[in-house]
Structure formats: C-alpha cells, structure tokens
Amino acid sequence: MNSPSPDPSDREESPGVPGFRSWRGVYLFVFIFFVLCVALLALFSRAFA
Amino acid sequence: MNLLDWVVLLGTMLGIAAYATWRTRHTDNLNTYLKGNHNTGWLTIGLSVMATQASTITYLSLPGQAYENGIAFIQNYFGLPLALIIVCVVFLPIYRKLGVYTAYEYLGQRFDAKTRLLGAGLFLLQRGLQAGITIYAPAIILSTVLGWRLDLTIIFTGLLVIIYTVTGGSAAVNLTQKWQMAVIFGGMLTAFVVLLSKLPADAVNIAGAMGKLQAVDFTPDLKRRYTFWSGMLGGLFLSLSYFGTDQSQVQRYLGGAALRESRLGLMFNALFKIPMQFAIVMLGALLFVFYQFQPNTPVFFNQTEWQRHAQGPQAATFRAIEEKHSALHADKQDKIRAWVAARDLGDADTEGAARTAMAEAQKASGAVRQEARDALRAVDPKAKIKDSDYVFITFILTQLPHGVIGLLIAVMFASALSSKAGELNALGTTSTIDLWRHFRPLAAQDEARNVRNAKWFTAAWGFFAIGFALFVSFAENLIEALNIVASIFYPALLGVFVVAFFLKKVGGSAVFWAAVAAQALVVALFFWGKANPAHEIGYLWLNPIGCAACVVFSLVLQAFMGHKGSRVEPAPTA
C-alpha cells in the first residue's frame, strides 16, 4: 500500500494570519524567529561570559 | 502555608476541575470524547500542547538545575521549532486527511496490524509508566517541604485528574489545560517579579561572571550532554518523536476545528517555547545570585532531609559543615562585592584578579556542599542527596507573601494535573482504538459502548498510575531508570514513521523487524556507554542514531524480502 500524501489543497490554503498569504511564509517567519533566538542567546552568552 | 494560601490553592485546583467536569458532563459522542469539541481554536490547542509537555519538573526542577549548572539546558529545545514545522508539513495533514484517532492507526493503514500494535504497545508501555512518575515527582517534593503525607498527596492528585478526564475526555482536558496554563503563567510571572525586586543591580553580570549564563556551546563534543549540536540534531529527532508519534501530543492537535487551527497551535509552540524556557532557566540563574547575598543560605536545600540527620548521633559533624559553609559563604559575598567594585572601576587587571578570587570562593563553597552530601550519604546510604529540586520551592516558601505561596503551589499542581490529563486521555484513546476496537471489530460499531470503554480505559490507566506512583516511593531509583527507558524507546518508533512517510516501497514486515533491530541497537549502545563511561555519548544522540538505524535496516531488509507481503488494514471508521 502506498502511503497517503498530504492533500495539496491543505498545503496551499491560506493560513488566515494577517501579513501571510501562504503557510510557507508562516514557516519561514517561525524559522527566522528561531535563528534570531539562537543568535541572541549566543550573543547573550558572549556578553556575560 | 496559611488559610489564604489554602483558599488560593484549593480554589484554583478544585474550581478548574469542577468547571471542566460540569461543562463537559454530557460528552457521549466518541469523536468529541477522543478529539474534543469541533470548534476548538488554535490558542486552546497551542496551550494544550504546551501544558502536556511542561510538567511540574519544568517549573520546579529546571530553575534548580540552572541554579546548579547554569542555563545551558536551554539548548535541549533548539530542535523543537524545526520539528514542529516538519510535523505541520508532513505528519499533520496525513493524520487529518485519514481521520485517525491515533498515530498508530496510520501505521496499521500504511503497513500492517503487527506494526500498528508495535507502535501502540511501545507508547502504552512507556507513557503508562511515565504517568505514574508525573504524579510522583511533584508529590515527593511538595510532601517533603510542606510536611504532607506522600501517599495522600498522590491519591488526591490522581483522583482529581481521573474525575474530569474520565467525565469529559479530550474536551475536558483542553478546557482545564487552558485555565491551568493561565494559573501557571500568572504564578511564574509573579515569582519572577518578586525575585527581581530582591536582586542587586548587577545581578545579571554576577550570574554571568560566575558561569551561570552560558546559553550556547558550539563545542563539537559528543560527550557533552548539552551543546548547540546535540540540541539541534538530537533535540530535533527527540521533538519529532514526541510531537509526531507520541499520542499524548498527537491527540492534542488532532482535535482542532480545522487543519489551520492545529497548525497555528503548533506554530504558537514553535515561537514561544524557547523564550518561555529561557525565562524559567533565567529564574534559576537569578535565584543563584539571590542566594549569594542571603545570610542564611542553607548548605543543603532539602532542609527536611538535612535536619532529620543533623539532629542525630552525627550532629557535631553536621554542625561543623554548616559553620564552615557559613564562613565560606560570607567570604564569597565579600569576593563578589570586590569584583563588582573592580568592574565599576574599569581596571581590567583588578577586575581579572577579583574574578579569579570569586571563582575560587565559589569552588570552595561548592566543595563544602559536596561535603554535606557525602556526610548525608555516610549516615544514611539511602539519603536523597540531590537538593537542586528544592531550591525554587525553598524560595517560594520563605520569600513570597501569603496568597502568592498558595498560587505557586497551585502552579506546581496545575502543571502535574495538565500533563497527567493529556497522558491519561491518550492512554485511554490508544487502548480503545488500537487494542479494543482492533480485537473486537464488531463490538466497536456500538458508539455508546466505545465511549463507555474509553472512559473505563482512561480510569484504569489513572488508577494504574496512582498505584505505580505509590510503589515508586519505595524504589526511587526506578524514576531515573524509567526516564531513560522512555527516552530510548522513541528513536525506533520515529524511524517507523519516517519510513511510513518517505519510503513507499518498504512494507510492514521489513519495517517491523527493522524497528526491533534498531531498538536493540539503541539499548545496546546505551548499556555499552554505561559500561564504558569514557566512551559514553550524550543520550540525545541516541535519537538520530536509532532513527537512522531503523530506516537503513528497513531498506536492507526490504531489499532481501523483495515483496512487501503485508496485509493492509481497512480504513478506520470515524
């Protein structure tokens, strides 16, 4: 049996979040926020070492 | 605790439980009972996911760990945001499209019955035992410091959660978790503000100079438990396993009104988990600074345990340790003040010398704390010598005003109840769907009987957890052992799901035996590391290794088997 794949319509539906037209944009925002968190934590470690 | 504290504690705990029980008392539809209301929004899902993951250990033990070892533990969460994005893109749409109640139902559809039972069995085994620990861990600490009876604390907590989880199922769990998280956020914020008001102006600089603020460590060393690399790779696989394949989490986000609500709930966690954990570990690091300036900082924070032995035949030894610690503590205060003055002057040489003197004073103080632990162990080999869990609760009971003490104790119970409710709900659901409905397919058509059985299974797991928690109190070493067992069960299970999603040519028999072999490999690696401590790797690394092994073994076995040869289960009837 082949594994079911995600419904394309689900992937493409609008997230309904102001400022974001696609889920890809939401994921990118979350990823950038994560990178920013790690960078700030690294700077924090250096500043108070 | 005085009357006001009791009113706040019982008012919040019983009030939330009673409200949820009343609101969800007519839940008699299987879909609502197992997945919650159809109108559940993203914030409720997000808070529910967060509440299930963060148990009392998070709020009680993590500040203590940061007090002792600094905030490096935060790296453990680095893989979480990426894992949640993967769950949103790959796992969630498939689960929702198939309309499954449990993640293991999908394994039955994709592979065969034995793989589904393997997944469900692994989950029930580890999560069932964990449910007992979820009650026991806070109960032992709170009963010790507050002088309550441990068995009654366990039974009261367990019965309370059983009542509303059995009555309202997933809907009640979602509802209570939302309000319990409000109590937790409110209480932790209050404690943080009170702590800040009691700190000296240079508190953050002092914590940094004393080595407590090393949040990120890029050293590529497999033996270090928490580094950027272990957090990113090991943490990613651990989070993927937990959020993608553990029913206690899957059930929380499957209940959304639409795919959008589930996704936004998970993205809420991806955004706020690291900042939230940072606040908690910073609380611990700042508690460390606070206690540097307290005149009566105990040499051992579990004062109940300490006093029990300090008044015995070895009283003189214990008193000598206390006096030694007191003198060293006062000396350390002077060294810290000298460093702050040197830093304010801006003279690099003086500041460097003062920093070295401060570090040596801290080392001497640490040595006396170790001496105290050794003394305890010498008079009682079974004495509990880990006192970091008692740091935050000591602060709560001695430094916070009445009313707020009750609120913070409510935080500890709310976090225990919310985690346990999610676990019981998932255990009851998996037992009903993957075991009972699987073995009794004809009886499974009866909707009312399904709900009745789900309630019975939920209650049974609740009583099992209470019984286990009562038993654990006689065998405390089991806790650590079981935590390890739970963490080494995840990788193979994740490997099965990775194969299911991405390797369409692999069939049930190949993945089943590959999972068994990968599980054996992880267990062997773990025990080999314990037997050879010089070569032991951090436990987070077992996650990518076990998962990769399952995937590779599946491919190899499939190549030998040639055909899938697996029976396919019919689609679930929702």
Nearest beta carbon to residue B259 from set A10, A17, A37: A10
- Taking only the tens place, the pLDDT of each residue in B129-150 is 888 888 887 887 788 778 888 8
- The reported pLDDT for the residue numbered B256 is 78
Nearest beta carbon to residue A42 from set B209, B216, B564: B216
Nearest beta carbon to residue A49 from set B88, B208, B278: B208
Residue of A nearest to B503 (CA): A3
Query: Which tokens is B304 given?
Result: 């109940």
Q: In b/e form, how buried is each residue of B207-233, taking b as 16+ CB within 10 angstroms?
A: bbbbebbbbbbeeeeeeebbbbbbbbb
Query: In angstroms, what separates the C-alpha of A3 from chain B's closest C-alpha?
Result: 6
Question: Testing the interface with A: which of B42, B84, B100, B267 to mutate, by most A Cβ within 10 A?
Answer: B267
Residue of A nearest to B502 (CA): A3
- Alpha helices for B380-476 (secondary structure H): 391-399, 404-430, 437-439, 447-472
Helix/strand/coil for B479: helix
Cβ atoms of residues B187 and B411 within 8 Å: yes
Overall pTM surpassing 0.90 (yes/no): no
- The reported pLDDT for the residue numbered B482 is 58
Residue of B nearest to A30 (CA): B271
H or E stretch including B118? helix B113-146
Q: Give the DSSP letter string of B129-196.
A: HHHHHHHHHHHHHHHHHHT--HHHHHHHHHHHHHHHHHHHHHHHHHHHHHHHHHHHHHHHHHHHHHHH
- The reported pLDDT for the residue numbered B479 is 54
What Cα–Cα distance (Å) separates residue B66 from each residue in B80, B400, B434, B518?
20, 20, 40, 34
Mean per-residue pLDDT pooled into runs of 10, chain B (574 residues): 90 89 80 79 91 84 90 92 95 90 92 92 86 82 82 90 89 88 92 94 91 89 82 87 91 86 95 95 95 90 84 86 92 92 87 91 92 89 81 91 92 88 91 88 78 92 90 58 68 91 90 93 87 77 89 93 56 43
Whether residues A15 and B82 touch (CB distance < 8 A) is answered with no
Nearest beta carbon to residue B94 from set A6, A16, A30: A6
- The reported pLDDT for the residue numbered B487 is 67
Q: Is A3 on the interface with B (CB under 8 A)?
A: yes
Q: Is A17 on the interface with B (CB under 8 A)?
A: yes
Question: Testing the interface with A: which of B76, B85, B233, B505 to mutate, by most A Cβ within 10 A?
Answer: B85
Q: In b/e form, how buried is each residue of B447-471, taking b as 16+ CB within 10 angstroms?
A: eeebbebbbebbbbbbebbbebbbe
Is the reported ipTM for this assembly greater than 0.90?
A: no
